[in-house]
Structure 1
């Protein structure tokens, strides 16, 4: 059997589909027994070595070192994370946006923000979102998968990169990817009018070849839980806070109850967006509740 190296495109029903440069079709692989004897982590996007036969079947021997790892959605070795939201139906959520960007920040993966359904955006929403995220270094792209508006600019930004789209159900991740490259032919789902959010049309993360790189859709969600995160990680995920921490009397400072706090002063002065600070407090409270629940077990 030949030994090869490739990238995991998807994991489905215990099989890993691995793409090797120079080969048209991915290899269908399982995990070698020695790996199963030890705890191992294998995600879409991982680079692996494997043994393959002439039928295109293989056994994965080793997972190579990752340059990054995103916990939710679970992906490895990304060049760019595309946090995708709708302007309406479902409504844009600053908290969910901040949670997604926080996870990318902690994984040290560059992230951009995409607002789909811009043709239905409430007055002032796009400007409000830009005013919050662009000053702290997040690019904001506005698109309409339905009309094609903004698609060319987004396509150019993703070209040649390994990208993953992530966001709530019903925001149009699959539709946006289809608008960027119609050959992808991902299934799209209608938004449920009854519950105000979309159906789960994507069941697992899958990398698809796209313009000298790869692009991935990931399963949507109703809420994004923060299991396993510590309060210090929540703090580190808000990149703009560090600029003002020299104004804090205490070190470390949680930027919550302390009497002299540079971050709280920056929020009061409008130098840090109030929505970002509110998201930070909400994340701290969620982490506290999770830890409290785990402590009762």
Structure 2
């Protein structure tokens, strides 16, 4: 039986890429019984008599999967956050970073719309970019209008499955249009009354970029920690994870414990205070999470 990868899911159909050909498939009833839903990114075994009448028979083991956006087997995440319109949000960025870190996905931070900034605003954004670079993240400042930063992004896609994610209206589709103009993805301006973007991408789809695949995903403005536990959270903050072994107590949560290396680093400004505040906020959020049965 042939094997391929789901590159699009739409209206109950799954589009499987195999040897350069795309076959439209349906899922077998066995998946519904097992409560398993095929995802974009899944490696699958399928059978088909032609390109329009295939059936997915088996889903290969996933190395990771995201809930929102619903996609699997991701190598890296390009997290697109606008510098302005909507305003840059460190708390939302840290939420995304914790999510991708918990799934062993390599994050790359892209700060878009830098051409719209005043000189004072640009200094603040560059300071944030430097903070995240010191942690170890790759940060790229971009402008699709000026086409700056684009040359730095293109090589990242080679031989990788990349998910492009971020808040609505930050310019994900505009970025992809500059990277690959033939896509002609629909874009919308910011809603002035709401102060946020309008959703322009309606489904998850993997698009070929050289030898890599890139997912344009529906925008979203909130993100819950559905499966992450408090004990795991500090491992999703690399600068805290590196210091954990210097804490007095094994399994230190870096909240109220004495002689905590992380809290000491915050006091010494080696860790930005806002990162630690977000960590504490996420800890409390996870503790308050209702049990799932």
TM range (shorter): over 0.9
TM-score, normalised relative to structure 2: 0.93
1:131 aligns to what?
130
What is the CA RMSD across the aligned residues, in angstroms? 1.7
1:101 aligns to what?
97
Measured after TM superposition, the shift of residue 249 of structure 1 is: 2.4
Q: How many angstroms apart in 1 are the aligned matches of 2:222 and 2:19?
A: 37
- Whether contact under 8 Å (1:184, 1:208) holds in the other structure is no
Aligned residues: 290
Deviation larger for 192-201 or 38-47? 38-47
1:212 aligns to what?
211
1:263 aligns to what?
262
2:176 aligns to what?
177
Measured after TM superposition, the shift of residue 176 of structure 1 is: 0.5
Measured after TM superposition, the shift of residue 102 of structure 1 is: 1.0
Measured after TM superposition, the shift of residue 66 of structure 1 is: 2.0
Q: How many angstroms apart in 2 are the aligned matches of 1:290 and 1:279?
A: 16
1:31 aligns to what?
27
Unaligned 5+ segments in structure 1 are: none
Measured after TM superposition, the shift of residue 74 of structure 1 is: 2.2
SS at match of 1:149: coil
Aligned mate of 1:13, from 11, 14, 29: 11
Q: How many angstroms apart in 2 are the aligned matches of 1:214 and 1:125?
A: 33
Q: How many angstroms apart in 1 are the aligned matches of 2:20 and 2:154?
A: 24
1:44 aligns to what?
40
- Whether contact under 8 Å (2:239, 2:271) holds in the other structure is yes
Q: How many angstroms apart in 1 are the aligned matches of 2:193 and 2:247?
A: 47
* Over 3 Å off, 4+ runs: none
Measured after TM superposition, the shift of residue 55 of structure 1 is: 4.4
Q: How many angstroms apart in 2 are the aligned matches of 1:55 and 1:6?
A: 13
